[in-house]
Amino acid sequence: MNCDLELLVEQAKLRLEQVSDYASFKEEKASFLGSNGKLRALFSILASASKDEKPVLGQQINECKARIEVIFSEKLSQLEDLELLNSLGSRIDPSIPVVSNCGMHPLSMMQEIMAEIFRKIGFTVALGPEIETIWYCYDALNVPESHPARDTIDTLYFNDDLRVKNVPQKQGEDYILRSQTSTVQVRTMLTEKPPLRIISPGRTFRRDTTDATHSANFHQCEGLLVDRNIGVVDLKAVLDFFFKELVGEKCETRFRPSFFPFTEPSFEMDFRAPNIGKLSNRWIEAGGCGMVHPKVFSIVGYDPDVWSGYAFGFGIERLAMLMYGVDDIRLFYQNDARFLKQFAV
Protein backbone atom coordinates (compact mmCIF):
# COMPACT_ATOMS: atom_id res chain seq x y z
CA MET A 1 0.00 0.00 0.00
CA ASN A 2 2.75 2.35 1.04
CA CYS A 3 4.31 1.78 -2.36
CA ASP A 4 1.05 2.68 -4.11
CA LEU A 5 0.81 5.91 -2.16
CA GLU A 6 4.36 6.90 -3.17
CA LEU A 7 3.38 6.18 -6.74
CA LEU A 8 0.35 8.40 -6.46
CA VAL A 9 2.48 11.32 -5.27
CA GLU A 10 4.88 10.76 -8.18
CA GLN A 11 1.96 10.53 -10.55
CA ALA A 12 0.60 13.88 -9.31
CA LYS A 13 4.00 15.47 -9.90
CA LEU A 14 4.25 14.06 -13.40
CA ARG A 15 0.75 15.10 -14.38
CA LEU A 16 1.27 18.63 -13.13
CA GLU A 17 4.48 18.99 -15.12
CA GLN A 18 2.31 18.81 -18.24
CA VAL A 19 -0.08 21.47 -16.97
CA SER A 20 0.31 25.06 -18.19
CA ASP A 21 -3.14 26.62 -17.75
CA TYR A 22 -5.79 26.96 -15.09
CA ALA A 23 -8.35 24.72 -16.87
CA SER A 24 -6.14 21.66 -16.96
CA PHE A 25 -4.92 22.46 -13.45
CA LYS A 26 -8.51 22.31 -12.21
CA GLU A 27 -9.10 19.05 -14.03
CA GLU A 28 -6.03 17.42 -12.50
CA LYS A 29 -6.88 18.75 -9.06
CA ALA A 30 -10.35 17.22 -9.28
CA SER A 31 -8.92 13.89 -10.43
CA PHE A 32 -6.63 13.69 -7.37
CA LEU A 33 -8.30 15.67 -4.63
CA GLY A 34 -11.93 16.02 -5.80
CA SER A 35 -14.93 14.18 -4.40
CA ASN A 36 -14.56 11.46 -7.03
CA GLY A 37 -10.79 11.66 -7.07
CA LYS A 38 -8.05 9.12 -6.45
CA LEU A 39 -7.60 10.06 -2.81
CA ARG A 40 -11.28 9.70 -2.02
CA ALA A 41 -11.03 6.20 -3.51
CA LEU A 42 -8.23 5.42 -1.08
CA PHE A 43 -10.33 6.54 1.86
CA SER A 44 -13.02 4.08 0.81
CA ILE A 45 -10.42 1.27 0.88
CA LEU A 46 -9.60 2.45 4.39
CA ALA A 47 -13.19 1.87 5.45
CA SER A 48 -12.86 -1.80 4.60
CA ALA A 49 -9.43 -2.25 6.22
CA SER A 50 -9.02 -4.34 9.37
CA LYS A 51 -9.04 -2.71 12.80
CA ASP A 52 -5.24 -3.18 13.18
CA GLU A 53 -4.42 -1.78 9.77
CA LYS A 54 -6.69 1.26 10.00
CA PRO A 55 -4.62 3.69 12.15
CA VAL A 56 -1.38 3.12 10.21
CA LEU A 57 -3.04 3.18 6.84
CA GLY A 58 -5.12 6.21 7.78
CA GLN A 59 -2.00 8.13 8.74
CA GLN A 60 -0.24 7.12 5.51
CA ILE A 61 -3.15 8.23 3.36
CA ASN A 62 -3.38 11.54 5.20
CA GLU A 63 0.35 12.18 4.69
CA CYS A 64 0.00 11.31 1.03
CA LYS A 65 -2.93 13.71 0.72
CA ALA A 66 -0.97 16.50 2.44
CA ARG A 67 1.98 16.02 0.06
CA ILE A 68 -0.27 16.08 -2.97
CA GLU A 69 -1.95 19.24 -1.69
CA VAL A 70 1.46 20.93 -1.38
CA ILE A 71 2.34 19.90 -4.93
CA PHE A 72 -0.90 21.42 -6.20
CA SER A 73 -0.55 24.66 -4.26
CA GLU A 74 3.03 25.10 -5.51
CA LYS A 75 1.83 24.58 -9.05
CA LEU A 76 -0.93 27.12 -8.49
CA SER A 77 1.50 29.83 -7.40
CA GLN A 78 3.70 28.97 -10.41
CA LEU A 79 0.72 29.50 -12.68
CA GLU A 80 -0.10 32.79 -10.91
CA ASP A 81 3.50 34.01 -11.30
CA LEU A 82 3.40 33.10 -14.96
CA GLU A 83 0.13 34.94 -15.43
CA LEU A 84 1.60 38.06 -13.76
CA LEU A 85 4.73 37.86 -15.90
CA ASN A 86 2.66 37.56 -19.07
CA SER A 87 0.53 40.51 -18.08
CA LEU A 88 3.70 42.61 -17.66
CA GLY A 89 4.63 42.12 -21.31
CA SER A 90 8.07 41.45 -22.66
CA ARG A 91 11.04 41.56 -20.29
CA ILE A 92 12.71 44.93 -19.77
CA ASP A 93 16.22 45.80 -18.67
CA PRO A 94 15.90 48.73 -16.25
CA SER A 95 19.62 49.44 -16.48
CA ILE A 96 19.32 50.56 -20.11
CA PRO A 97 18.97 54.36 -20.34
CA VAL A 98 15.48 55.49 -21.29
CA VAL A 99 15.08 56.47 -24.91
CA SER A 100 13.07 59.64 -24.55
CA ASN A 101 11.71 61.78 -27.32
CA CYS A 102 11.35 64.67 -24.89
CA GLY A 103 14.91 65.92 -25.33
CA MET A 104 17.13 67.11 -22.51
CA HIS A 105 15.40 68.40 -19.37
CA PRO A 106 15.51 72.23 -19.23
CA LEU A 107 17.27 72.15 -15.86
CA SER A 108 19.96 69.87 -17.29
CA MET A 109 20.24 72.17 -20.29
CA MET A 110 20.65 75.13 -17.99
CA GLN A 111 23.41 73.34 -16.06
CA GLU A 112 25.20 72.46 -19.29
CA ILE A 113 25.01 76.07 -20.49
CA MET A 114 26.41 77.33 -17.18
CA ALA A 115 29.23 74.79 -17.22
CA GLU A 116 30.03 75.71 -20.83
CA ILE A 117 30.34 79.41 -19.97
CA PHE A 118 32.50 78.83 -16.91
CA ARG A 119 34.63 76.32 -18.81
CA LYS A 120 35.72 79.17 -21.10
CA ILE A 121 37.42 80.84 -18.15
CA GLY A 122 39.06 77.78 -16.68
CA PHE A 123 36.46 76.44 -14.25
CA THR A 124 35.87 72.71 -14.02
CA VAL A 125 32.80 70.94 -12.64
CA ALA A 126 33.02 69.33 -9.18
CA LEU A 127 30.20 67.24 -7.77
CA GLY A 128 29.29 66.31 -4.20
CA PRO A 129 26.80 64.02 -2.44
CA GLU A 130 23.18 65.03 -1.91
CA ILE A 131 23.13 63.30 1.47
CA GLU A 132 25.52 65.34 3.57
CA THR A 133 26.68 65.59 7.13
CA ILE A 134 26.09 68.64 9.29
CA TRP A 135 29.81 69.28 9.38
CA TYR A 136 30.17 69.79 5.63
CA CYS A 137 26.91 71.70 5.32
CA TYR A 138 27.41 74.06 8.28
CA ASP A 139 30.38 73.74 10.65
CA ALA A 140 33.03 73.77 7.94
CA LEU A 141 31.30 76.74 6.34
CA ASN A 142 31.55 78.71 9.57
CA VAL A 143 27.77 78.57 10.16
CA PRO A 144 27.37 78.79 13.94
CA GLU A 145 25.34 76.28 15.95
CA SER A 146 22.77 78.99 16.70
CA HIS A 147 22.18 79.84 13.02
CA PRO A 148 18.51 79.36 12.01
CA ALA A 149 19.54 77.42 8.87
CA ARG A 150 20.64 74.59 11.17
CA ASP A 151 17.20 74.25 12.67
CA THR A 152 15.49 70.92 12.09
CA ILE A 153 12.53 72.95 10.90
CA ASP A 154 14.59 74.46 8.09
CA THR A 155 16.60 71.46 7.01
CA LEU A 156 15.78 67.83 6.29
CA TYR A 157 17.41 65.50 8.83
CA PHE A 158 17.75 61.73 8.63
CA ASN A 159 17.17 59.37 11.54
CA ASP A 160 20.14 59.04 13.91
CA ASP A 161 20.80 55.43 12.97
CA LEU A 162 21.42 56.07 9.26
CA ARG A 163 24.93 55.26 8.04
CA VAL A 164 25.93 56.15 4.49
CA LYS A 165 29.06 54.30 3.48
CA ASN A 166 30.32 56.73 0.86
CA VAL A 167 29.62 59.84 2.96
CA PRO A 168 31.85 59.41 6.01
CA GLN A 169 30.94 61.44 9.07
CA LYS A 170 33.57 63.85 10.26
CA GLN A 171 32.58 63.70 13.92
CA GLY A 172 29.68 61.22 14.08
CA GLU A 173 27.29 64.07 13.39
CA ASP A 174 23.81 63.86 11.81
CA TYR A 175 23.07 63.25 8.17
CA ILE A 176 20.90 65.74 6.32
CA LEU A 177 19.86 66.38 2.75
CA ARG A 178 22.19 69.19 1.71
CA SER A 179 20.50 72.58 1.80
CA GLN A 180 23.16 74.25 -0.34
CA THR A 181 25.84 73.23 -2.83
CA SER A 182 28.37 75.24 -0.79
CA THR A 183 29.26 71.87 0.75
CA VAL A 184 31.23 71.11 -2.40
CA GLN A 185 33.54 74.07 -1.68
CA VAL A 186 34.64 72.32 1.48
CA ARG A 187 34.91 68.89 -0.09
CA THR A 188 37.00 70.26 -2.97
CA MET A 189 39.35 72.27 -0.76
CA LEU A 190 39.89 69.28 1.53
CA THR A 191 40.96 67.06 -1.35
CA GLU A 192 42.73 69.50 -3.68
CA LYS A 193 45.56 71.93 -3.35
CA PRO A 194 45.13 75.60 -4.34
CA PRO A 195 44.95 77.32 -6.76
CA LEU A 196 41.58 76.03 -7.93
CA ARG A 197 38.45 77.10 -9.74
CA ILE A 198 35.32 75.01 -9.74
CA ILE A 199 31.62 75.27 -10.24
CA SER A 200 29.31 72.73 -8.69
CA PRO A 201 25.79 72.41 -10.04
CA GLY A 202 23.46 70.03 -8.24
CA ARG A 203 20.32 69.21 -6.33
CA THR A 204 19.58 70.82 -2.99
CA PHE A 205 16.76 70.45 -0.48
CA ARG A 206 14.89 72.58 2.03
CA ARG A 207 11.78 72.28 4.09
CA ASP A 208 9.80 74.50 1.76
CA THR A 209 6.14 74.21 0.97
CA THR A 210 5.79 73.87 -2.75
CA ASP A 211 4.17 76.71 -4.69
CA ALA A 212 4.80 78.45 -8.02
CA THR A 213 8.21 79.74 -6.92
CA HIS A 214 9.27 77.34 -4.13
CA SER A 215 10.14 73.69 -4.08
CA ALA A 216 11.54 71.45 -1.34
CA ASN A 217 13.89 70.07 -3.94
CA PHE A 218 15.68 72.49 -6.23
CA HIS A 219 19.07 73.10 -7.83
CA GLN A 220 21.95 75.44 -7.17
CA CYS A 221 25.22 76.16 -8.89
CA GLU A 222 28.10 76.93 -6.58
CA GLY A 223 31.32 78.59 -7.69
CA LEU A 224 34.69 78.79 -5.97
CA LEU A 225 37.99 80.30 -7.00
CA VAL A 226 41.08 80.20 -4.79
CA ASP A 227 44.36 81.82 -5.79
CA ARG A 228 46.79 84.50 -4.65
CA ASN A 229 45.74 88.17 -4.46
CA ILE A 230 42.09 87.72 -5.38
CA GLY A 231 39.76 90.65 -4.71
CA VAL A 232 36.10 91.62 -5.05
CA VAL A 233 36.90 93.09 -8.45
CA ASP A 234 37.76 89.60 -9.73
CA LEU A 235 34.48 88.25 -8.42
CA LYS A 236 32.51 91.06 -10.03
CA ALA A 237 34.35 90.59 -13.33
CA VAL A 238 33.63 86.87 -13.47
CA LEU A 239 29.95 87.25 -12.65
CA ASP A 240 29.69 90.07 -15.16
CA PHE A 241 31.26 87.84 -17.79
CA PHE A 242 28.93 84.97 -16.93
CA PHE A 243 25.74 87.01 -17.17
CA LYS A 244 26.79 88.75 -20.38
CA GLU A 245 27.45 85.33 -21.93
CA LEU A 246 24.16 83.98 -20.64
CA VAL A 247 21.78 86.85 -21.27
CA GLY A 248 23.59 89.13 -23.74
CA GLU A 249 26.16 91.92 -23.95
CA LYS A 250 23.71 94.47 -22.56
CA CYS A 251 23.30 92.63 -19.28
CA GLU A 252 24.52 94.48 -16.17
CA THR A 253 25.22 93.17 -12.70
CA ARG A 254 25.23 94.84 -9.30
CA PHE A 255 26.21 93.83 -5.77
CA ARG A 256 24.26 94.66 -2.63
CA PRO A 257 25.86 94.20 0.81
CA SER A 258 24.69 91.05 2.54
CA PHE A 259 25.77 88.44 5.05
CA PHE A 260 26.82 84.81 4.70
CA PRO A 261 28.88 83.17 7.42
CA PHE A 262 31.32 81.67 4.92
CA THR A 263 32.14 84.87 3.01
CA GLU A 264 33.45 88.25 4.14
CA PRO A 265 32.46 90.64 2.68
CA SER A 266 29.24 89.10 1.34
CA PHE A 267 26.87 90.32 -1.34
CA GLU A 268 23.59 89.61 -3.02
CA MET A 269 24.03 89.75 -6.74
CA ASP A 270 21.40 91.15 -9.13
CA PHE A 271 21.35 91.39 -12.88
CA ARG A 272 19.36 93.48 -15.34
CA ALA A 273 18.90 93.11 -19.09
CA PRO A 274 16.72 94.66 -21.79
CA ASN A 275 15.84 91.36 -23.49
CA ILE A 276 14.16 89.14 -20.91
CA GLY A 277 10.48 89.58 -21.64
CA LYS A 278 8.29 90.85 -18.84
CA LEU A 279 11.29 91.18 -16.56
CA SER A 280 13.29 93.34 -18.96
CA ASN A 281 15.16 96.27 -17.37
CA ARG A 282 14.32 95.17 -13.82
CA TRP A 283 16.92 94.13 -11.28
CA ILE A 284 16.60 90.41 -10.62
CA GLU A 285 18.28 88.72 -7.69
CA ALA A 286 20.45 85.83 -8.90
CA GLY A 287 22.16 84.59 -5.73
CA GLY A 288 24.76 85.23 -3.06
CA CYS A 289 28.49 85.70 -3.28
CA GLY A 290 31.52 87.05 -1.46
CA MET A 291 35.15 86.59 -0.55
CA VAL A 292 35.90 83.25 1.13
CA HIS A 293 36.04 83.77 4.90
CA PRO A 294 39.55 83.23 6.38
CA LYS A 295 37.99 80.87 8.93
CA VAL A 296 36.79 78.57 6.12
CA PHE A 297 40.32 78.53 4.71
CA SER A 298 41.74 77.64 8.13
CA ILE A 299 39.18 74.83 8.61
CA VAL A 300 40.20 73.18 5.32
CA GLY A 301 43.90 73.72 5.99
CA TYR A 302 44.61 76.55 3.52
CA ASP A 303 46.75 79.38 4.92
CA PRO A 304 44.50 82.50 4.83
CA ASP A 305 47.57 84.74 4.72
CA VAL A 306 48.66 83.15 1.46
CA TRP A 307 45.38 82.24 -0.23
CA SER A 308 42.37 84.36 -1.09
CA GLY A 309 39.31 83.62 -3.16
CA TYR A 310 35.67 84.15 -3.88
CA ALA A 311 32.55 82.01 -3.88
CA PHE A 312 29.08 82.38 -5.31
CA GLY A 313 25.85 80.42 -5.48
CA PHE A 314 22.90 80.76 -7.86
CA GLY A 315 19.52 79.07 -8.02
CA ILE A 316 19.38 77.16 -11.30
CA GLU A 317 15.57 77.08 -11.48
CA ARG A 318 15.38 80.85 -11.24
CA LEU A 319 17.72 81.28 -14.20
CA ALA A 320 16.00 78.54 -16.20
CA MET A 321 12.57 80.09 -15.54
CA LEU A 322 13.87 83.37 -16.81
CA MET A 323 15.74 82.05 -19.84
CA TYR A 324 12.91 79.78 -20.95
CA GLY A 325 9.95 81.88 -19.86
CA VAL A 326 8.63 79.32 -17.35
CA ASP A 327 6.38 80.88 -14.72
CA ASP A 328 5.78 77.93 -12.38
CA ILE A 329 8.67 76.00 -10.80
CA ARG A 330 6.51 72.88 -10.39
CA LEU A 331 6.50 72.31 -14.15
CA PHE A 332 10.16 71.28 -13.94
CA TYR A 333 9.39 68.28 -11.76
CA GLN A 334 6.17 66.90 -13.22
CA ASN A 335 7.82 65.21 -16.21
CA ASP A 336 4.91 66.13 -18.43
CA ALA A 337 6.03 65.33 -21.97
CA ARG A 338 4.02 68.28 -23.34
CA PHE A 339 6.13 70.64 -21.22
CA LEU A 340 9.46 68.91 -21.78
CA LYS A 341 9.09 68.60 -25.56
CA GLN A 342 9.00 72.38 -25.90
CA PHE A 343 12.71 72.48 -25.04
CA ALA A 344 13.82 69.67 -27.35
CA VAL A 345 16.61 70.71 -29.66
Q: Work out which of 25, 118, 138, 312 binds ligand DAH, going by CB under 6 A.
A: 312
CB closer to ligand DAH out of 15 and 309: 309
Total residues binding ligand DAH (CB under 6 A): 12
CB closer to ligand DAH out of 32 and 314: 314
Q: Which stretch binds ligand DAH (CB under 6 A): 151-159, 189-197, 288-296, 325-333?
A: 288-296
Residue 201 makes contact with ligand DAH by CB under 6 A: no
Alpha helices in the chain (DSSP H): 2-17, 22-33, 38-47, 53-87, 106-120, 134-137, 183-191, 232-247, 294-300, 316-324, 337-340
Report the alpha-carbon distance of residue 160 to residue 16 in Å, rounded. Answer: 52
Report the alpha-carbon distance of residue 106 to residue 331 in Å, rounded. Answer: 10
Residue 309 makes contact with ligand DAH by CB under 6 A: no
Q: Work out which of 288, 300, 309, 316 binds ligand DAH, going by CB under 6 A.
A: 288
Residue 215 makes contact with ligand DAH by CB under 6 A: no
CB closer to ligand DAH out of 201 and 290: 290
The amino acid sitting at 250 is K
Q: Which stretch binds ligand DAH (CB under 6 A): 43-51, 188-196, 273-281, 305-313?
A: 305-313
Neighbours of 332 (CB within 10 A): 23
Q: Work out which of 5, 16, 199, 311 binds ligand DAH, going by CB under 6 A.
A: 311
Neighbours of 85 (CB within 10 A): 10
Whether the Cβ atoms of residue 121 and residue 238 lie closer than 8 Å to each other: yes
**Side-chain half-sphere exposure of 191, counting CA atoms within 13 A:** 9
Report the alpha-carbon distance of residue 318 to residue 282 in Å, rounded. Answer: 15
Q: Which of residues 217-276 bind ligand DAH (CB under 6 A)?
A: 222, 260, 263
Q: How far is the CB of 138 from ligand DAH (least distance, A)?
A: 11
Q: Work out which of 180, 200, 215, 253 binds ligand DAH, going by CB under 6 A.
A: 180
Summarize the chain as % helix, strand, coil (round to 5): 45, 20, 35
Binding site for ligand DAH (CB under 6 A): 180, 182, 222, 260, 263, 287-290, 311-313
